[in-house]
Homo-oligomer: A and B are copies of this chain.
Amino acid sequence: MRQLNAILRHILHLPFKNLTLNACMQMQQFHCSTSHLKHNKLWNLGKINHIALVTPDLDKSAALYRDVLGGRVSNKQPLPEHGVTTVFVELGDTKIELLHPLGEKSPIQSFLERNKSGGMHHICIEVDNIHEAIKDLKAKNIRLLSEGPRTGAHGKPVIFLHPKDCDGVLVELEEA
């Protein structure tokens, strides 16, 4: 089985080691496009690191995912340098990050004012080389929310893509 797994991964040229065999098999069903001809292969997209939800009540949201849905939920983690308090919900190889504003200048305060009940804020996808990703995205006229990478909430380099260039969705890339 391990050999089969290794062979499948080799055939499919999977860049990330922690993909499951199930995921490999699903990919076989895909009609892969000619993306490799267009995409700059100096960097690769990985898994979804997290989906960030903003909530008006972090304890209530944590209780929903822990006590009602039975998920594995972390304690609250204040990140004053990022202006948020976070709670993580582990789900397979990705996670939900519940966010609530912290401090005066929280970057999610205005989102919560526009969405008083809370809502989906951004998705974060891993990349293996954020500097190459940034160069490539700039060359393809994707607007970025900062000139270069910044240190994200997990202590790793991140960059945010402008929602106007991503169909209304705020997309974060994180170097994993």
Task: Report which A residues bind B (CB closer than 8 A).
Answer: 16, 18-23, 26-27, 30-33, 35-36, 38-41, 43-48, 51, 53, 55-57, 60-61, 64, 66-75, 88, 90-94, 96, 98, 115, 117-120, 123, 125, 137, 140, 142, 163-169
Contact = CB atoms under 8 A, between A and B. Distances in A.
B74 A31 contact: yes
B93 A19 contact: yes
Nearest to A88: B30
B94 A92 contact: yes
A117 B20 contact: no
Contacts of A70: 35-36, 39-41, 43-45
B142 A68 contact: yes
